[in-house]
Amino acid sequence: MDGIYDSQGGIRSNFHIILFSSNSPANLCRVTEFFQQIINGLSLGAIYALIALGYTMVYGVLRFINFAHSDIFMVGAFSGYFFSRFFPSESIFGGISVVFLSMLVCAFLGMLIERVAYRPLRGSSKLNVLITAIGVSMFLEYSFQVKLTKPLSFPVLFPTMSFTLPGGIILSSTQVLVFVMTLLLLIALQYIVLYTKMGTAMRAVSFNPMAASLVGINNDAVISFTFGLGSALAAAGGILYSLNYPSIEPLMGVLPGLKAFVAAVLGGIGNIPGAALGGLLLGVIETFVNGSRYSTYTDAIAFTLLIIILIFRPSGLLGKVTVEKV
């Protein structure tokens, strides 16, 4: 096509030209921009990953899309806003406490929602559960909208600074925070799922709920725990997201939530490392599109990607391909 080198200097998807052309200053600039975009993309993707984990875990144990998950993300951001009043701003201790408390609140909220709205419907049609989930999602959004007519601005929780890496790539402390926090949470999650009793039970329920209950696993407790865990991660995601885009409002979860779900499917739903991978990938791709001349189509990227993946590899990147038994 025309205009790979057009004057606007936006990054085209033609990485070969970017990477393998000679080292003139203009090209160097492109290389820098390329890596800058990667970093920005990864930090957005890390947040998608945190939300995607909740979708994936709940899907794993219940085989259902928890539509209200994206609103738990929103509640996470708002409780962060609320708790920030009680702690010094721009301090590591304060920041961590706020994140921790919000995670706690959302974990309870997630468990409450599961108990009240989903558990009574266990065993009824998927469609009903999905609509209930949508009802819960609308309920959360509209109840927040009753009191909030305009967006709130999110406080600066952590000290901020920025680092310039060799080549002129800029790394903000918020990005570092996002990476570190996501990594720690992922490690913790992987530990819980692989090495604790509860995690083993989770895997058992996800593999075969009937068999799990026959060997004495309390499915209700496991499902409740899964909701708590997923919701806590969404809360962390909500706060990290708000640090980057510090204007919070009741509908803020909708789009990131949908995209995170796409990320979960992309990685292979029910698959924890898959969700993380899918999130990162989606974040990077979106950031690149956003920096290109097709930026107005950014919101469509996630879905286009989703459709392509589902058509060619319905079980996702890391999911196992299964044949329905007849």
Partner 1 sequence: MLHRPKTLLCFSLALAFGVSLLAPQLNPYHLDVLLTIGINIVLAVSLNLVNGYTGQFSLGHAGFMAVGAYASAAFTLFAAPRWFPDANFLVTSACFFVALLLGGLASAGAGVIVGAPSLRLKGDYLAIVTLGFGEIIRVIFRNVDALGGALGLNGIPFHTNFFWVSFWGLITIYMVLALVNSSFGRGFLAVRDDEIAAEAMGINTTQYKIIAFVVSAFFAGIAGGLYAHLKSSIDPKGFDFMRSIEIVVMVILGGMANTRGVIMAAVILTLLPEILCPIAEYRMVIYSLLLIILMLTRPQGLFSFRIRPHPSHSA
Nearest to 286, CA basis, from 259, 309, 318, 314: 259
Nearer to partner 1 by Cβ, of 61 and 232: the residue is: 61
Residues 109 and 75: their CA atoms lie apart, in Å, by: 9
CA angle 204, 207, 209 (to 5 degrees): 70
124 binds, among ligand ATP, partner 1, none (CB under 5 to 8 A by kind): partner 1
Residue 325 found at the interface with ligand ATP (CB under 6 A): yes
Q: Quickly list H helices, 9-68.
A: 15-20, 25-62
Task: For residue 239, give both structure tokens.
Answer: 């706060």
Classify the phi-psi angles of 167: left when phi > 0, otherwise alpha if psi is within -120 to 50, otherwise beta.
left
Residue 302 found at the interface with partner 1 (CB under 8 A): yes
What is the total count of residues that contact partner 1 (CB under 8 A)? 41
Going residue by residue from 149 to 188, which x/- string records binding to ligand ATP, judged by CB under 6 A?
----------------------------------------
323 binds, among ligand ATP, partner 1, none (CB under 5 to 8 A by kind): ligand ATP
Shortest gap between Cβ of 151 and partner 1 (angstroms)? 17
Task: For residue 263, give both structure tokens.
Answer: 């990320």
Helix orientation angle between 92-113 and 219-244, rounded to the nearest 10 degrees: 140
Per CB under 6 A, contacts with ligand ATP among 295-324 are 323
CB 319 within 8 A of CB 270: yes
What phi and psi, each to the nearest 5 degrees, are found at residue 171? -120, 120
Candidate residues 52, 260, 262, 272; the one interacting with partner 1 per rule CB under 8 A:
262
Residues 276 and 42: their CA atoms lie apart, in Å, by: 11
304 binds, among partner 1, ligand ATP, none (CB under 5 to 8 A by kind): partner 1
Residues 256 and 76: their CA atoms lie apart, in Å, by: 13
Residue 167 found at the interface with partner 1 (CB under 8 A): no
Nearer to partner 1 by Cβ, of 110 and 155: the residue is: 110
Residue 75 found at the interface with partner 1 (CB under 8 A): no
Residues 67 and 133: their CA atoms lie apart, in Å, by: 5
Query: Length of the chain, please?
Result: 326
Nearer to ligand ATP by Cβ, of 63 and 293: the residue is: 63
Collapsing DSSP to helix, strand or coil, 164 comes out as strand
- Name the segment binding partner 1 (CB under 8 A); options: 26-34, 207-215, 261-269, 281-289: 261-269
261 binds, among partner 1, ligand ATP, none (CB under 5 to 8 A by kind): partner 1
Given the rule CB under 6 A, which residues bind ligand ATP?
Answer: 323, 325
Given the rule CB under 8 A, which residues bind partner 1?
Answer: 63-65, 117, 120-121, 124-128, 130-132, 134-136, 138-139, 142-143, 145-146, 258, 261-262, 265, 296-297, 299-300, 302-304, 306-307, 310-311, 314, 324, 326
